[in-house]
Amino acid sequence: MPAQLLQGSDAVARSAIEAGCRFFAGYPMLPFTDLLEAMARLMPGAGGVCMNAETEIEAVNMALGAGAAGARAATGSCGQGIALMQEAIAEAALNEVPFVVFNMARGQQDYFQATRGGGWGDYRTICLAPKDVNEAVEHTQLLFHLADLYRAPVMMYGDYLIGHTYMSVDMQRRDYGPLPPKDWALDGRRGGTGASRQIWTWAMGKANDPGPGPDLHWQRIAAKFEDVARAEQRWESELCDDADTVVVSFGSAGPFVSQVVAELRADGLRVGAFRPVSLWPFPETALAEACASARQVLVFEVNAGQMIDDVRLSVGHRVPVRPLGRVSIDFSGMRQGEILTVPWIRERVRAAMNETVMG
């Protein structure tokens, strides 16, 4: 298929439909609104349903319901709306209902929210952070696969730049391999047929057919997330092998850091870039290896310092880990502010290298 010029939100919507998503629900909130509008426009033609819910709480629970019935379902919002969705995300993680949450964030200040979650119980949320529109298209399809593979709600960490930038996009269906049958999905039978099923966070079962109960059920889910943590770490590493300084960034910030690294390399500076593609599970082993020869690790994130915690957990105390970003939001409050530019990052990386590596 030839490449098409698509705006990020439109491209993500098309990719979701290509992946078999047939239910979408959301409540308008910039910069997520464009994705909701694209879904509303495209879903009926694909034979699916897009609901403009009355709140984010309603939207996420609609997605949970559609997922429980076996559909490929999704919802989304930005940080404020995702905050409202946390209870349902936790419930779905613990009663094992797959769906995708498109978090079109208003910047990078929701890293903790995306990776730690705000629901209850022992659960984690797989979270992928694309660097641009093309990767968002790929992640969209991968997320539906991972959700079904692990029977869990999963999240994309996008933002204004992902949603609004146009790129030439290769919109093909990706094959991520076979999936287990959805023999757990609810089919609407209410009993008497022998086919009635139950999806219950506490897994207590029915009177005549007791379930494992919360202790065993939640232990099994915890073990599942341990497996996910080992199996699903994704990252991109550039020029780290001989690097004195490694700059870590995520999502939309990644291409800016890549360009800075290319320019500083051209000046003879030994600098590399590392980008966690999965924010959870965080690629801790790969990051530790990428920093093996480094004398400092710089963390560029457009917030007061959130991912830096995961970087420190990964590289330990062997090498100093320093923050490079700060809070920076534009006047509209919808997108990253003035620090997300190549010159801003380049001058600070250069200064940090002069101080530490040369000094």
Partner 1 sequence: MQREVVLTGIGGQGVQLAAKTLAMAATAEGRQVMMSSHYGGEMRGGQTEASVVVSDGQLRPVPILESTWSAYVMHHRYWPGVAERLRAGGIAVVNSSVANEEITAPGVRIVPVAAGEVAVEVGSAMAAGFVLLGAFAALTGLAETDSLVEAMRQLVPPYRTQHLAVNEAALRAGAEVGAGLDPVGAPR
Contacts to partner 1 by CB under 8 A: 2-5, 132-133, 161, 164-168, 252, 255-256, 258-259, 262, 340-343
Which CB, 23 or 250, lies closer to partner 1? 250
3-state secondary structure of 28: coil
CA atoms of 220 and 223, how far apart (whole Å): 5
Smallest distance from partner 1 to CB 32, Å: 18
Structure tokens, 106: 């208003």
Structure tokens, 75: 């919802």
CA atoms of 189 and 191, how far apart (whole Å): 6
Residue 132's contacts (CB-CB under 8 Å, 6 or more residues apart) are: 162, 165, 167, 252, 255
3-state secondary structure of 249: coil
Residue 23's contacts (CB-CB under 8 Å, 6 or more residues apart) are: 48, 49, 50, 51, 62, 63, 66, 71, 72, 73, 74
Smallest distance from partner 1 to CB 4, Å: 7
Which CB, 101 or 339, lies closer to partner 1? 339
Smallest distance from partner 1 to CB 179, Å: 32
Which CB, 18 or 132, lies closer to partner 1? 132
CB 23 within 8 A of CB 72: yes
Smallest distance from partner 1 to CB 256, Å: 5
The residues with which 272 forms a beta bridge, in sequence order, are 246
Which CB, 98 or 325, lies closer to partner 1? 325
Which CB, 20 or 337, lies closer to partner 1? 337
Smallest distance from partner 1 to CB 161, Å: 5
Smallest distance from partner 1 to CB 343, Å: 6
- DSSP code of 132? S
Residue 181's contacts (CB-CB under 8 Å, 6 or more residues apart) are: none
Which CB, 241 or 347, lies closer to partner 1? 347
The residues with which 74 forms a beta bridge, in sequence order, are 24, 100
Smallest distance from partner 1 to CB 296, Å: 24
Residue 52's contacts (CB-CB under 8 Å, 6 or more residues apart) are: 25, 26, 27, 28, 36, 40
Which CB, 262 or 288, lies closer to partner 1? 262
